[in-house]
């Protein structure tokens, strides 16, 4: 009946022409690819198509049943924000104080090993993108560029060095001295790896470092030609910490991870390192207190992105208790499971002083080298900014547990 009330006319060709819009042609194939990513999950999907399954699974996977990783990601999804309305949020500041200096964004890049296996631009891409964004970049002991190489491509960046502790104090000392000499401002000591986690995907894939050519990898290489071309035409993998390694991967890991390391070794490192010291991989309140007594300037709650102990505590859920116990003395940082800017906002509301991304930047890296890492950072930045405005909060430090309910 109402259609009788509506008068019809012929379509107006001028109006019709105005509606026609062609997508802007992006000639650069990397930029074209990245322009289709709106979330970190989109970057992951692109990464999966472009990277051989061994390095992709090495990055994407966790230990054993991968429950630590799943639970960490689920915990972020099980929150409900409590927004405030009618607040002036025309100006939102995402910068935070980090050891007396500004970090332009409330997150940094976590240390990751073998990064040049995910994409040939590896650590350079992470360090350069971090420098441009004004956030810290942590180079892993198992990184595939040397301490000096990274500081030379991102000299004005905030470069940090992550150390796996060894009983071999001479070697540890040598690395600490090299990092200090190259201008690294903070040392991050990882303490959750007495042995390597049980990465079942890597076992199933028959993963080796560098990847070996089998019939399966050759078939998988066909749609991933760029990765192989990059891999075969650039210098071979070497490690941040070692000039060369003659042994097998298993021997390398046995050497890197030392089950005999204890709190006295941490105290020893504290004495060697002149800068700030973060202890990474804390999973209980008691250990948080212990490492603060051992000289930590900050504690990083982390279960290594679910790559070590499976069924481990969820770092995000551990935050309030740890912050209550030691938050007055030292800042409490957090990582594991962050896939969105909303996860970062939620972490600050739970009391975190800083956050880190591991896979969220590696997916960008695999999707498009340094431009992909820039894209990861941009996606997170815009998600944080929008969430803050929708929550009615103008500054990261104004976030409180009142902005959050755990469902």
Ligand X SMILES: Cc1cc2nc3c(=O)[nH]c(=O)nc-3n(C[C@H](O)[C@H](O)[C@H](O)COP(=O)(O)O)c2cc1C
What positions carry a catalytic annotation? 304
Out of 51, 59, 144, 387, name the contact with ligand X by CB under 6 A.
Answer: 59
Q: Report cis status (omega within 30 of 0) of the bond before 210.
A: yes
> Rounded to whole angstroms, how far apart are CA atoms 282 and 371?
32
User: Which tokens in the block code for residue 373?
Assistant: 């890492």
Contact between 110 and ligand X per CB under 6 A: yes
Contact between 145 and ligand X per CB under 6 A: no
Minimum distance from CB of 192 to ligand X (Å)?
A: 8
Out of 68, 190, 283, 353, name the contact with ligand X by CB under 6 A.
Answer: 190
Contact between 122 and ligand X per CB under 6 A: no
Pairing between β-strand 186-190 and β-strand 158-164 as defined by DSSP bridges: parallel
Contact between 62 and ligand X per CB under 6 A: no
Residue 175: C-alpha distances to residues 161, 184, 378 (Å): 9, 11, 33
Minimum distance from CB of 358 to ligand X (Å)?
A: 2
DSSP string, 135-157: -EEEEPTT-SS-HHHHHHHTTTS
Minimum distance from CB of 38 to ligand X (Å)?
A: 19
Out of 53, 112, 159, 376, name the contact with ligand X by CB under 6 A.
Answer: 112
Per-residue mark of binding to ligand X, 287-316 (x: CB under 6 A): ---------------x-xx-x---------
In the bound state with ligand X, the residue whose beta carbon lies nearer, of 362 and 373, is: 362
Residue 53: C-alpha distances to residues 205, 227, 332, 335, 342 (Å): 8, 11, 35, 25, 29
In the bound state with ligand X, the residue whose beta carbon lies nearer, of 45 and 82, is: 45
In the bound state with ligand X, the residue whose beta carbon lies nearer, of 313 and 394, is: 313
Minimum distance from CB of 6 to ligand X (Å)?
A: 54
In the bound state with ligand X, the residue whose beta carbon lies nearer, of 176 and 393, is: 176
**Per DSSP, what are the bridge partners of residue 355?**
107, 334
> Rounded to whole angstroms, how far apart are CA atoms 291 and 236?
37
- Alpha-carbon 385 to chain mean position: 19
- Alpha-helix residue ranges (DSSP H) falling in 182-224: 200-205, 215-221
Contact between 360 and ligand X per CB under 6 A: yes
Nearest in space to 169 (alpha carbons), one of 91, 83, 86, 273: 273
Burial environment of residue 108 by CB neighbours within 10 A (0 to 12, 13 to 18, 19 or more) = buried
In the bound state with ligand X, the residue whose beta carbon lies nearer, of 176 and 362, is: 362
Contact between 358 and ligand X per CB under 6 A: yes
Per-residue mark of binding to ligand X, 230-269 (x: CB under 6 A): ----------------------------------------
Contact between 113 and ligand X per CB under 6 A: yes
Pairing between β-strand 79-81 and β-strand 186-190 as defined by DSSP bridges: unpaired
Contact between 357 and ligand X per CB under 6 A: yes
Minimum distance from CB of 258 to ligand X (Å)?
A: 14
In the bound state with ligand X, the residue whose beta carbon lies nearer, of 52 and 111, is: 111
Locate the DSSP E strands across 216-314.
276-282, 298-301
Cβ-based neighbours of 321, under 8 Å, separated by 6 or more: 285
Judged by CB under 6 A, the chain residues 337 through 356 that form the site for ligand X are: 337-338
Contact between 140 and ligand X per CB under 6 A: yes
Contact between 186 and ligand X per CB under 6 A: no
Can you give the binding site for ligand X, defined by CB under 6 A?
58-59, 110-113, 140, 142, 162, 190, 280, 302, 304-305, 307, 335-338, 357-360, 362
């Amino acid at each position: 009946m109402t259609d009788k009330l509506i008068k019809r006319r012929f379509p107006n060709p001028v109006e019709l022409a105005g509606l026609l819009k062609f997508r802007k042609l992006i000639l650069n194939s990397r930029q074209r690819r990245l322009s289709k990513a709106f979330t970190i999950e989109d970057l992951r999907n692109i990464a999966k198509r472009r990277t051989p399954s061994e390095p992709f699974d090495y990055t994407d996977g966790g230990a054993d049943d991968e429950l630590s990783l799943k639970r960490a990601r689920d915990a972020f999804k099980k929150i409900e924000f409590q927004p405030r309305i009618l607040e002036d949020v025309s100006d939102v500041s995402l910068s935070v104080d980090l050891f007396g200096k500004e970090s332009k964004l409330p997150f940094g890049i976590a240390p990751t090993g073998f990064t040049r296996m995910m994409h040939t631009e590896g650590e350079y891409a992470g360090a350069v993108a971090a420098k441009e964004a004004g956030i810290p970049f942590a180079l892993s002991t198992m990184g595939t560029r040397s301490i000096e190489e990274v500081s030379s491509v991102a000299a004005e960046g905030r470069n940090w060095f992550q150390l796996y502790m060894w009983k071999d104090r001479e070697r540890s000392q040598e690395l600490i001295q090299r990092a200090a000499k190259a201008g690294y401002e903070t040392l991050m000591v990882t303490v959750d790896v007495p042995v390597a986690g049980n990465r079942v995907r890597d076992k199933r894939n028959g993963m080796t470092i560098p990847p070996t050519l089998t019939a399966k990898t050759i078939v998988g290489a066909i749609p991933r030609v760029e990765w192989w071309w990059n891999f075969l035409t650039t210098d071979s993998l070497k490690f941040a910490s070692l000039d060369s390694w003659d042994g097998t991967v298993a021997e390398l890991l046995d050497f890197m991870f030392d089950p005999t390391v204890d709190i006295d070794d941490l105290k020893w490192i504290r004495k060697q390192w002149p800068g700030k010291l973060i202890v990474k991989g804390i999973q209980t309140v008691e250990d948080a207190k212990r490492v603060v007594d051992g000289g930590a300037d900050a504690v990083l709650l982390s279960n290594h992105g679910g790559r070590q102990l499976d069924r481990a505590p969820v770092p995000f859920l551990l935050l309030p208790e740890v912050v209550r116990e030691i938050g007055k003395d030292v800042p409490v940082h957090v990582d594991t499971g962050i896939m969105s800017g909303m996860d970062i906002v939620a972490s600050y509301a739970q009391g975190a002083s800083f956050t880190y991304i591991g896979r969220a930047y590696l997916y960008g890296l695999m999707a498009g080298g340094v431009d992909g890492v820039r894209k990861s950072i941009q996606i997170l930045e815009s998600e944080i900014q929008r969430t803050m405005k929708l929550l009615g909060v103008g500054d990261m430090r104004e976030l409180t547990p009142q902005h959050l309910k755990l469902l």
